[in-house]
């Protein structure tokens, strides 16, 4: 059986931490930033952790 290849698109967007958590970028940062309040923009800068139900799927796709 051949080795499973990692999904390059997911690999560029998600990151696996040392403890096995999967982090991702937050949505709503693409454009129209002038209409958003400073607090919201600051919160959107931080990375988000992927939900428990999807961790198994993403770790398999990342190749971790």
Q: Which domains does the chain have, with CATH numbers?
A: 8-62 (4.10.410.60)
Residue 35 is predicted with a pLDDT of: 96
Q: How far apart are CA 61 and CA 58, in angstroms?
A: 5
Q: Which residue has the tokens 């400073």?
A: 38
The pTM for the full model equals 0.78
Token reading at 45: 């800068």
In total, the chain counts a number of residues equal to 64
Per-residue pLDDT of the chain (64 residues; tens, 9 = 90+): 788 899 999 999 999 999 989 999 999 999 999 999 999 999 999 999 999 999 999 999 998 6
- Contacts of 12-15 with CB under 8 Å at 24 or more apart are 14/50, 14/58, 14/61, 14/62, 15/47
Give the per-residue pLDDT at 54: 94
């Amino acid at each position: 059986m051949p080795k499973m290849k990692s999904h390059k698109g997911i690999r560029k967007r998600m990151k696996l931490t040392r403890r096995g958590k999967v982090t991702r970028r937050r949505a709503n940062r693409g454009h129209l930033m002038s209409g958003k309040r400073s607090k919201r923009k600051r919160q959107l800068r931080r990375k988000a952790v992927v939900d428990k139900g999807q961790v198994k799927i993403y770790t398999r796709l990342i190749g971790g």
